[in-house]
């Protein structure tokens, strides 16, 4: 679905939502038909238990388990299901509202006993005309021993983390819930960098085309489009940067000190993403400026040629016109060398004009 059409669906909902009481449990986003799947993963350093399509009623039991519980809800278009999961972990209704609304801005908020994070998963889609960023919402609730994740769409971005837990590679399973959240965030930010890398390839092509003098005919449209996309992207990344930075400065009770080193590392990666976005935007602006400058140069060349040709041939044509007049008494007409005189006159005109042009530096 294109960004435009998605925005329209959402905006329709924004209008619909206005008038509802705060913290109303209503899904604000495009409709979907597939059922919402709840996927559970419970582990400690020694063992791992996994279950698909968990029923909410079963969740209560896991909430009080001393092992780390990760509940991954795929799809937030079923308010009832989301609400049941949240209730099992005593999540505040305002958080449920944020999870259900796809217009929620990326943010991190601390509540009594848990931390709520909302952010966007971004991937690049090669649409028919121009590449567009596909933006899907991810909500994360971090409790001391449990992590809830709510994804708008597919959960492919978390597969890496899941796989690492299963194979127990790295130190993942020995660490606490806050480290799991760090790993999930890291996967999302890595996805940002991959998407930006793909954009960089487009920017390379644009720059090569412009510098080489043969840009894509739609280069203006394309640059405009990519700049808008990157701007929208930036607005999704900057709050994440600020949120992680705030966690670093004023760590909460839920994020332990050992995890801070990793958060600092994550912060660096987000800074790299922001830098890359700014750099790409700068390069696009630069390429467009260059394109305009080179085009103007070309247009100036064209104008100069027109002026030269007109300035040379208009006087010549005039001379020819004069001797094409039909007056009865025109002495030059009857000179023996009149024709040659006229040709000499024309040649003289051309030579003096060319001399003028050369002195002005136009030829």
Least distance between a copy of itself and beta carbon 261 (Å):
6
Least distance between a copy of itself and beta carbon 62 (Å):
25
CB of 205 closer than 8 Å to CB of 130: no
Q: Can you read off the two tokens belonging to residue 24?
A: 């109303």
Element (H, E) at 115: strand 114-126
Alpha helices in 127-170 (DSSP H): 159-167
Nearest to a copy of itself of 48, 316 (CB atom): 316
Nearest to a copy of itself of 60, 169 (CB atom): 169
**Which 3 state secondary structure label does DSSP give 328?**
coil
Alpha helices in 168-256 (DSSP H): 177-212, 219-249
Q: What is the dihedral of CA 204, 205, 208, 211, to 10 degrees?
A: -100
How far apart (Å, rounded) are the C-alpha atoms in residues 187 and 159? 9
Least distance between a copy of itself and beta carbon 19 (Å):
5
Least distance between a copy of itself and beta carbon 320 (Å):
3
Nearest to a copy of itself of 54, 160 (CB atom): 160
How far apart (Å, rounded) are the C-alpha atoms in residues 323 and 326? 8
Least distance between a copy of itself and beta carbon 86 (Å):
15
Nearest to a copy of itself of 58, 268 (CB atom): 268
Phi, psi dihedral angles at 134 (to 5 degrees) = -90, 120
Least distance between a copy of itself and beta carbon 12 (Å):
8
Nearest to a copy of itself of 49, 337 (CB atom): 337
How far apart (Å, rounded) are the C-alpha atoms in residues 270 and 253? 23
Place of tokens 């990760």: 70
Least distance between a copy of itself and beta carbon 77 (Å):
21
Least distance between a copy of itself and beta carbon 362 (Å):
7
Angle of helix 219-249 relative to helix 257-322, nearest 10 degrees, comes to: 160
Nearest to a copy of itself of 59, 195 (CB atom): 195
Alpha helices in the chain (DSSP H): 3-17, 56-63, 79-88, 93-100, 159-167, 177-212, 219-249, 257-322, 331-334, 338-360
Least distance between a copy of itself and beta carbon 256 (Å):
16
Nearest to a copy of itself of 58, 341 (CB atom): 341
Nearest to a copy of itself of 54, 242 (CB atom): 242
Angle of helix 79-88 relative to helix 93-100, nearest 10 degrees, comes to: 140
Q: Can you name the residues that pair with 121 across neighbouring β-strands?
A: 136
Nearest to a copy of itself of 63, 272 (CB atom): 272
Closest C-alpha among 350, 356, 186, 166 to residue 268:
186
CB of 72 closer than 8 Å to CB of 44: no
């Amino acid at each position: 679905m294109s960004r435009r059409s998605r925005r329209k669906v959402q905006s329709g909902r924004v209008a619909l939502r206005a008038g509802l009481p705060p913290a109303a449990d209503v899904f604000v986003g495009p409709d979907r038909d597939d059922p919402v799947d709840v996927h559970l993963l419970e582990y400690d350093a020694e063992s791992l238990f996994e279950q698909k399509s968990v029923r909410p009623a079963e969740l209560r039991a896991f909430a009080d388990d001393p092992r780390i519980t990760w509940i991954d809800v795929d799809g937030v278009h079923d308010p009832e299901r989301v609400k049941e999961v949240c209730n099992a972990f005593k999540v505040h209704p305002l958080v449920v509202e944020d999870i259900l609304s796809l217009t929620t801005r990326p943010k991190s908020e601390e509540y009594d006993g848990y931390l709520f994070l909302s952010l966007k998963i971004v991937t690049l889609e090669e649409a028919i005309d121009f590449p567009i960023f596909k933006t899907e919402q991810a909500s994360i609730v971090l409790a001391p021993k449990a992590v809830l994740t709510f994804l708008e769409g597919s959960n492919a971005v978390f597969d890496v983390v899941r796989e690492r837990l299963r194979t127990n590679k790295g130190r993942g399973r020995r660490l606490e819930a806050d480290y799991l959240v760090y790993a999930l965030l890291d996967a999302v930010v890595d996805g940002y960098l991959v998407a930006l890398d793909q954009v960089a390839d487009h920017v390379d092509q644009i720059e090569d085309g412009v510098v080489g003098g043969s840009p894509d005919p739609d280069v203006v449209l394309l640059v405009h489009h990519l700049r808008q996309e990157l701007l929208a992207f930036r607005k999704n990344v900057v709050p994440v940067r600020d949120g992680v930075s705030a966690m670093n400065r004023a760590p909460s009770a839920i994020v332990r000190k050992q995890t801070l080193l990793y958060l600092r590392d994550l912060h660096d990666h987000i800074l790299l993403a922001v830098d890359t976005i700014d750099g790409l935007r700068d390069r696009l602006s630069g390429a467009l400026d260059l394109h305009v400058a080179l085009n103007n140069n070309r247009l100036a060349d064209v104008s100069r040629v027109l002026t030269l040709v007109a300035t040379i041939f208009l006087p010549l044509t005039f001379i020819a016109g004069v001797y094409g007049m039909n007056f009865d008494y025109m002495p030059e007409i009857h000179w023996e060398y009149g024709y040659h005189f006229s040709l000499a006159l024309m040649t003289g005109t051309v030579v003096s004009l060319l001399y003028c042009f050369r002195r002005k530096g136009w030829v």
